[in-house]
């Protein structure tokens, strides 16, 4: 059994696949400083939370992770394991994580009626932000609100 399999099995025991509670913190791992955040001001940009525009409105989502009960080291290790070493979806690529944006579930639920749904595949802590408005300007507005409410955390060196 590989270390990755042991880690995955442990996380299944720690957090069952259910929807996050309003007080649960979520994180979005950020890889692209020019697109996802401004390294000088340490502000998260709206594009970090925009859903993929190349899919149908009903399937638009943004992937985040539930980090409830995890220490900082575990949060960064999970990100490196699931978005860099074993990237999913495959389009994530192998770019290193430069930062992350943390936000409480309740802050997202209040925005544009977005849904926060646990999608425990490929990872038991994987969560999707769903129910995006059909209009792109409304999506941008919602993504901007999320970005403004999130907390920027640079990756440890």
Domain ranges of the chain: 3-15+24-154
**Burial zone of 114 (CB within 10 Å; 0-12 exposed, 13-18 middle, 19+ buried):** buried
Specify the DSSP class assigned to residue 98: -
pLDDT per residue, tens digit, the chain (157 aa), is 566 666 655 654 455 557 899 999 999 999 999 899 999 999 999 999 999 877 766 678 999 999 999 999 999 998 888 876 655 555 555 688 999 999 999 999 988 789 999 988 778 899 999 999 989 999 999 999 999 999 999 999 8
pLDDT of residue 18: 79
Angstrom distance (rounded) from CA 157 to CA 155: 6
* Predicted model pTM: 0.84
């Amino acid at each position: 059994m590989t270390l990755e399999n042991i880690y995955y099995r442990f996380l299944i025991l720690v957090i069952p696949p259910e929807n996050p509670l309003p007080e649960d913190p979520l994180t979005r791992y950020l890889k692209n400083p020019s697109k996802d955040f401004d390294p000088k001001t340490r502000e998260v940009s709206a594009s970090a939370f925009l859903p993929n525009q190349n899919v149908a409105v009903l399937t638009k989502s943004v992937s985040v992770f539930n980090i409830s009960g995890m220490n900082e080291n575990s949060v960064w290790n999970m990100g490196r394991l699931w978005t860099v070493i074993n990237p999913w979806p495959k389009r994530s690529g192998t770019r290193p994580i430069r930062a992350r944006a943390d936000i409480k579930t309740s802050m997202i639920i209040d925005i544009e009626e977005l849904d926060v749904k646990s999608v425990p595949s490929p990872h038991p802590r994987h969560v999707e932000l769903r129910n995006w408005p059909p209009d792109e300007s409304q999506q941008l507005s919602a993504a901007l609100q999320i970005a403004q409410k999130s907390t920027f955390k640079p990756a440890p060196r």
